[in-house]
Each structure stands twice: as C-alpha cells, then as structure tokens.
Amino acid sequence: MTVTIRDVARLAGVSASSVCRALATPDKVRATTRERVQKAAAQLGYHPNRVARGLSTGRTGNLGLVVPDIANPFFAGLVKAVQNRAHECDFLVLLADTDEDVAAEMDLIHTLTKQVDGFLLCSPRAGDEDLRLVGADLPVVMLNRRVGQIPSVIFDNADGVRQVITHLVALNHRRIGYVAGPKTSWVNRERLRAVRTLAASMGLELVETGTVSPTYVGGVAAADVLLAASVTAVIAYNDMIALGLISQITARGVRVPQDISVVGFDDIPTAGLVNPALTTVSEPKEQCGRAAVDLLVDLLNDREGPGNSRRVAPMQLVVRQTTAPSPV
C-alpha cells in the first residue's frame, strides 16, 4: 500500500502541511517538528513525490552538472562525488557533457535552465561574460573555474606548479617544456602563468609547445616537438597528455625518466598503474565535488554568507617513477 503524507502526519502527530514544510523546506520548521516528521517518514518508508513537491515549492529537485569531457577520468571522479553528495541532500543530478565545445556548452546550459534549480559548472570553457549571464538566471557554483564574484571551488594551481618546479630544480633540470591544454581552459591559463613566472624567477629555460587536446592523443602529438627541443623535463597540462607523451617518447627510443622526466596533473587512477608510474599533482576531487554541492544547496536555501563563497583546495605533488635527475 502506498504511504501518503497524511499517514506520516498521523504518525508524527502534526498536520499534513507541517509534513510538507518539514520535508521540502526543513529550515523553516522547528527542530522538534522536523525530527518527528523525519522519524515518522523513515519508519513508514515514505518518499516524497518530486513532481508534487515541485508544484508546492517551485523547485525541481534537480541540479545541473556541466562538464567538458566525461571520458576524462578527472571529471568522472568529480561527477561521482557530486552525485553522491547531491543524493545525500535529496537532489537529482542532470549531467551534460559538452565535448570541449563552447557553443554546445552554452546550448546545453540554456536547455537545462528550466529543468534545474541551479548549476554546477565544472571547468566551463565559455567566456566570463556568458557565464555571468548564466549566474543572473539561476544560482551557479563554479568548480575548477573562477569568474568574478560567482561562488567557486577551485584548486590551488599556483602552489601545485610551485611544487612541480621545485621538484624538478632539485633534480637539476634547467631546460623544461610545458605542454598546454585548451586555450579556453581557465586552469590551463593559470598553470601556464605560474610556470612562466617561476621559470623566469629561477632562471630556467622554458620551452612551450603550444596547445593540444587534453587527451592521450594530444600528448602523442606533442612528443616529437619536445624531443626536438632537447628538454630534460616536461610538465603536461594533465595526466592524459602526460601518458600520451610517455608512450610516444618511449616509442622513439628515448627513456623515461633516465633521458627525460615527465610530470602530469590530476592524479587520475591510471597514473599509478602504468609502468613507469606517473609523477603527478593530486587534487582532493571528492572533497571539492562535495563542497561545491554544499555551496550550491546553501545558495538555494539562502544560507550562504558573503565571505564564504570562494573556496580554494590544496594540491599535492605525488612523486613516482617518471622523474629522475637531469641527464646533463
């Protein structure tokens, strides 16, 4: 037999309207009432009807999550963290993959606008002005991107790069390459800026190969340019590029790390499984995915204070087998 709101109200000893408020907007009822309703609902196995709740609250119960490439393990880890936390907060996640296409990104966002209560935009590739317009329509939290005063959760890319450069300098590398990711990537711009600044301050020779797709194939394409430049170490925008670099470099008869060291970013699961295992920079993806959901839910419930809408998570260098002392 289907359990109804009236059944929950009868067991909790409150009105049906109190049950609705306790389940839909728990912050607007007394703690004692909320606890009685939640206990009764759990005892009866009651689950709110999302459509009915939406009609009464004006909410869909959905969060939009937009990512550039779900096939990239970095984004897959964030998606899982977001979905798990959203479920705990009683939200569904509508996922959209833009395939690194800015036009598709904006189209998907506009399509989802009427179906969600707010957006989590993960590493969005659109320009700042377009993203500000999205934030004018619905609550938005940026994950791995910063745009003006829009609430955001980002990683400390400058410190991550500092750790990499310090590690390579300690191994006596003085001529270092950087393989950039997409031009539309805010993270790529942040990392490239940090690499240039640190290389200049430490008197290093920096070789930039230009941008490639943030994939294994992109790394393969950049390998010969790096070998021709005679660098002793290379920093890749992400692990996927780094793995492609290693594959092509070794195919050319050059040894990693004896002849050239390679460092990636993201610490995807594959990074520790390949041989040699990849030296990379790790981010607390689960922590940040959950924090982004909490921030968006707080915005939806008008709980977010003015000083708590920008969060920066630390990064940590993970030294494995693809870095070694410079051969020269």
Q: Where along the chain do its domains lie?
A: 5-57, 62-155+285-313, 157-283
Please determine whether the domains at 62-155+285-313 and 157-283 fall in the same fold group of CATH: yes
Q: What average pLDDT does the segment 244-254 reach?
A: 97
- As its CATH architecture, domain 157-283 has 3-Layer(aba) Sandwich (3.40)
Q: How far apart are CA 310 and CA 146, in angstroms?
A: 9
| Half-sphere exposure at residue 2, Cβ-oriented, CA atoms within 13 angstroms | 4
Alpha carbon distances (Å) from 142 to 61, 66, 107, 155, 206:
19, 10, 17, 12, 31
Nearest CA among 180, 157, 94, 107 for reference residue 283? 157
Count of other CB atoms within 10 angstroms of residue 232: 22
Count of other CB atoms within 10 angstroms of residue 166: 12
Q: Looking at the predicted structure, is the pLDDT value of residue 304 above 60?
A: no
Buried b (16+ CB within 10 A) or exposed e, 31-41: eebbebbbebb
Count of other CB atoms within 10 angstroms of residue 96: 18
User: How many percent of the chain have pLDDT more than 90?
Assistant: 71
Q: Which one-letter amino acid corresponds to residue 64?
A: G
Domain 5-57 has CATH 3.30.460.80: no
pLDDT digits (tens, 9 = 90+) for 88-117: 888 999 999 999 999 999 999 999 998 999
Nearest CA among 87, 89, 85 for reference residue 24? 89
pLDDT of residue 54: 52
pLDDT of residue 55: 46
pLDDT of residue 29: 77
Buried b (16+ CB within 10 A) or exposed e, 297-328: bbbbeeebeeeebebeeebebbebebbbebee
Q: Looking at the predicted structure, is the pLDDT value of residue 169 above 80?
A: yes
Least confidently predicted of 5-9, 59-63, 67-71, 166-170: 5-9
pLDDT digits (tens, 9 = 90+) for 122-151: 999 999 999 988 888 789 999 999 998 899
pLDDT of residue 57: 54
pLDDT of residue 307: 47
| Under 8 Å between Cβ of 223 and 248 | yes
Residue 29 has which token pair? Answer: 């009822």
Count of other CB atoms within 10 angstroms of residue 138: 18
For residue 87, what are the contacts with CB-CB under 8 A and spacing of at least 6?
Answer: none
Count of other CB atoms within 10 angstroms of residue 12: 22
Q: What integer best gives the mean pLDDT of the chain? A: 90
Q: What average pLDDT does the segment 10-16 reach?
A: 83
Q: Which fold has domain 62-155+285-313?
A: Rossmann fold (3.40.50)
Length of the chain, please? 328
Q: What average pLDDT does the segment 261-284 reach?
A: 97
Q: What average pLDDT does the segment 22-30 reach?
A: 73
| pTM of the entire predicted model | 0.81
Q: Looking at the predicted structure, is the pLDDT value of residue 177 above 70?
A: yes
